[in-house]
Amino acid sequence: MTAYDVESGDQVHPGDPVKVDRYTGVARINHWITAACLILLALSGLALFHPWLFFLTDLFGGGQITGMIHPWIGVVLFFSFLGLFIRFWRANLWKREDGTWLARLQDVIAGHEERLPEVGKYNAGQKAVFWLMSTLIIVLICSGLVMWDQYFAAYTVIEQKRIAVLVHAAAAVVIICVWIVHVYAAIWVRGTIGAMTRGQVTGGWAWRHHRKWLKELVSRNS
């Protein structure tokens, strides 16, 4: 007899892992727009940052165009991230088990999952990345606006712009590092990338890494 998934109607084979929904299509599109913006911002920002990296402006059609579109991509990133923030801020609120998880970081790295507390949709590391990204994006947009002479020259003075350049560059370096950690973690924890590409994870993945979340899902749907 052939078995079918109740929701998707796809054929289910014996031994197929159970799939759990983690992200809607809209949330994934929102995420990948944000990701694309950050990559474009990093490339165009680095191109303008140092003469050695000026060759990167070729990717955008020259120095002038790079300087013109960089702030606009920043605006798109800001609003796109705002969409992610509105979706996920609640799931990223700090819980008591997050402190314990963080204190056992060595076990996290060594893969001793049995020694870790059960965590909700996100673990303490993901939450730290989320709040860091949120803070850095606010710092980047604010310092960016101070430097955006095309529209805001009349509202700022040179001293403010000098500080803004420094703050903007420092925040950009930090967010690139945070982004590398985010991507590395997504690749390191096998089965995570599928959450953001297909919107689903396996039941085993959820049980292993986010058991509290899985239990909440099951009790909500039963």
Q: Is 112 a catalytic residue?
A: no
Residue 188 falls in which region: left (phi positive, over 0), alpha (psi -120 to 50) or beta: alpha
Q: Which of 110, 170, 193, 218 binds ligand HEM (CB under 6 A)?
A: 193
CB of 143 to ligand HEM, least distance (A): 16
**Residue 101 binds ligand HEM, judged by CB under 6 A:** no
Catalytic site residue from 70, 168, 182, 209: 182
Q: Select from 77, 62, 60 the least CA-distant residue to 172.
A: 77
- Name the minimum Å distance from CB 23 to ligand HEM: 7
> Which residue from 186, 203, 215, 217 is in contact with ligand HEM, where contact means CB under 6 A?
186
Binding mask 38-57 for ligand HEM (x = CB under 6 A): x-------------------
122 binding ligand HEM? (CB under 6 A): yes
166 is an interface residue for ligand HEM by CB under 6 A: no
Q: With binding defined as CB under 6 A, does residue 205 bind ligand HEM?
A: no
- Asked if 126 touches ligand HEM (CB under 6 A), the answer is yes
Residue 93 or residue 110: which is nearer to ligand HEM going by CB?
Answer: 93
By C-beta, is 115 or 190 nearer to ligand HEM?
Answer: 190
Residue selected from 44, 73, 74, 81 as contacting ligand HEM according to rule CB under 6 A: 81
DSSP string, the chain: --EE-TTT--EE-TTPPPEEE---HHHHHHHHHHHHHHHHHHHHHHHHH-GGGGGGGGGGTSHHHHHHHHHHHHHHHHHHHHHHHHHHTGGGS--HHHHHHHHTHHHHHHT-GGGSPP--SS-HHHHHHHHHHHHHHHHHHHHHHHH-HHHHGGG--HHHHHHHHHHHHHHHHHHHHHHHHHHHHHHHSTTSHHHHHTSEEEHHHHHHH-HHHHHHHHHHH-
Nearer to ligand HEM among residue 60 and residue 88 (C-beta): 88
Identify whether the C-beta of residue 123 lies closer than 8 Å to the C-beta of residue 132: no
Q: Interface residues with ligand HEM (CB under 6 A)?
A: 22, 31, 34-35, 38, 81, 84, 88, 92, 122, 126, 130, 133, 179, 182-183, 186, 192-193, 195-196
